[in-house]
Amino acid sequence: MLLIPGPKAEAASGKPLSARLRKELSSSKLDSATVSLVVYDLDANKEVFAHNAGSLLSIASTLKLLSAAAIVDEFGAGHRFTTEWRAQGFRPLKGEIDKLYVLGSADPSYSRDELRTAVSELKKLGVKRISETRLVNLSFDTDPANPQWTHEDAQYYYGPTLSSLCIDENTVEVVVRIEGGVATMRPPDVVELFGLTSEVTRNGGETDFEFSWNQGAKGGVFTGSFGARRLEKGQKICIPDPLALFGLYLEREFERAGIDCASIVEGDRSGVEGDSLLTQRSAPLEDLLERMLVNSSNFYAETLLHAAAARSADEHGEYDQLDPLFRMLKRWGIKEGDVVLHDGSGLARTNLMSARQLVRVLRGIDDDATLKAAIKPNLGTPPDRLWHLPKSLNGDLLVKTGTMSQCRAMAGYINEPGLKGRRLAFVLILNNFPGKVRGVLSVETGVVNALAGK
């Protein structure tokens, strides 16, 4: 169905908006592609353009808009995630602790710098010896990677492994040095801990390599093809056991601070005891959303959505990661059975929504003062990650984009100076187009120019 706006909806060129949009969607670059576009006038509260509006299509990272709304709705924009250090059997005069607990509540921004600060504070408290440190995955339990993600995605940093006790987004940068056809990997302690190996072969001008790890049931294989320069600069990869990585870094910091710790182990949430020594807090949630939306961090999206879902866990600690998403959709009149969702980041190719449903999400965000204030400032605007769009639209165009193989989506808001300043919400989804994503960006630019009346 194609809804044609009235004669007043004309761009600066004098052509009706619908005619300009239809022209962009008829581009030969979209031959064989499935295309959907919906434009909604937020002030008039009506749909002004619709093409293939109801088809369920792969939406990539634009799903993060729904996830952000669900996360803010659950926690509030000012929520700060904590990492708490508790001690059982602390004897300050001797500087001894029987058991030290590190409790994570899903702070996705926690880094080695924060870890170093925490150990420094323990040193100031006079801690010298710790019999045992327990790392507790306090907020949620989950498989290392979503089963709906492809093997190719799950091996790289953008296919994150999850835990509520995080460190450097649960990734590590591995550098491969090749000398005489032999590969040497570093950092050596990470390589040793996770049993990382690499095999190097030559394939024309490229150097093919394979990373593999040996970590019990969490083992897997990294594969890829990069030139020698890329290998030497480093390849960021996900670590299959985040708590093991946290423990490795904590052991380093204990050694640096001169604190003797006999053992570092994973702890049971049910056995946490002792007094709080230190609580570290993240930035407010509304600030964390910048990394999730502007930088499109899958790790932030998945970690925060799991944390939101875990707040409704049953007495056994079980929950469904997708429940917060479906609660938001229900509020906005979209039934669970009318969409197909598998994660909160959009990484699964089988996350399917229609352009009209995504526009409803945009409308819901715009109608809610809290969601609007937290989410809209964290959307992209030219030239930030939108180099192909007119810089003159900076501030007038706020969008979330998503890109995967044979999928490109854009969802957001635009102020329409060429059409008497209307505020529009729009969603453009392109699936199964020929060639690479770069080839269809001109279509995206054309649609945005038409909406802006340029």
Find the CATH number of the domain harbouring 260: 3.50.80.20
What is residue 153's predicted lDDT score, i.e. its pLDDT?
Answer: 66
Over residues 409-428, the mean pLDDT reads: 84
Residue 212 and residue 218: Cα distance in Å, rounded? 11
pLDDT tens-digit profile of 37-64?
999 999 999 999 999 999 999 999 999 9
pTM of this structure: 0.88
Q: What is the Cα 398 distance to its own chain's centre?
A: 18
Task: Check whether residue 45 and residue 190 sit in a common domain.
Answer: no
Report the range of poorest mean pLDDT among 64-78, 150-164, 337-351, 359-373: 150-164
Residue 428 and residue 40: Cα distance in Å, rounded? 12
Residue 235 and residue 227: Cα distance in Å, rounded? 11
Task: Check whether residue 204 and residue 337 sit in a common domain.
Answer: no
Task: Check whether residue 411 and residue 267 sit in a common domain.
Answer: no
Task: Check whether residue 33 and residue 130 sit in a common domain.
Answer: no
What is residue 49's predicted lDDT score, i.e. its pLDDT?
Answer: 97
Residue 114 pLDDT > 70? yes
Residue 273 pLDDT > 90? no
The conformation of residue 5, written as its DSSP 8-state character, comes to: P
Task: Check whether residue 319 and residue 440 sit in a common domain.
Answer: yes
Task: Check whether residue 313 and residue 392 sit in a common domain.
Answer: yes
Burial track 289-303 (b if 16+ CB lie within 10 A, e otherwise)? bebbbbebbbbbbbb
Task: Check whether residue 206 and residue 322 sit in a common domain.
Answer: no
Task: Check whether residue 332 and residue 406 sit in a common domain.
Answer: yes
Burial track 39-75 (b if 16+ CB lie within 10 A, e otherwise)? bbbbeeeebbbbbbbebbbbbbbbbbbbbbbbbbbbb
CB atoms within 10 A of CB 340: 13
What is residue 268's predicted lDDT score, i.e. its pLDDT?
Answer: 76
What is residue 382's predicted lDDT score, i.e. its pLDDT?
Answer: 80
- The mean predicted confidence, pLDDT, of the chain is 85
- 146 part of a folded domain: no
Q: Given strand 206-213, what is the order of strands in its sheet?
A: 197-203, 206-213, 220-226
Cite the DSSP H helix spans in 76-138.
112-124
Over residues 234-255, the mean pLDDT reads: 86
Residue 2 pLDDT > 80? no
Place of tokens 């020698």: 228
Instruction: Provide the residue range defining the domain that includes 194.
Output: 169-240
* Structural domain count, the chain: 3
Residue 215 pLDDT > 60? no
What is the enclosing helix (H) or strand (E) of 334?
none
- 350 part of a folded domain: yes
- 107 part of a folded domain: yes
What is the enclosing helix (H) or strand (E) of 31?
none
Task: Check whether residue 173 and residue 315 sit in a common domain.
Answer: no
- 150 part of a folded domain: no
Task: Check whether residue 116 and residue 258 sit in a common domain.
Answer: yes
Task: Check whether residue 228 and residue 253 sit in a common domain.
Answer: no
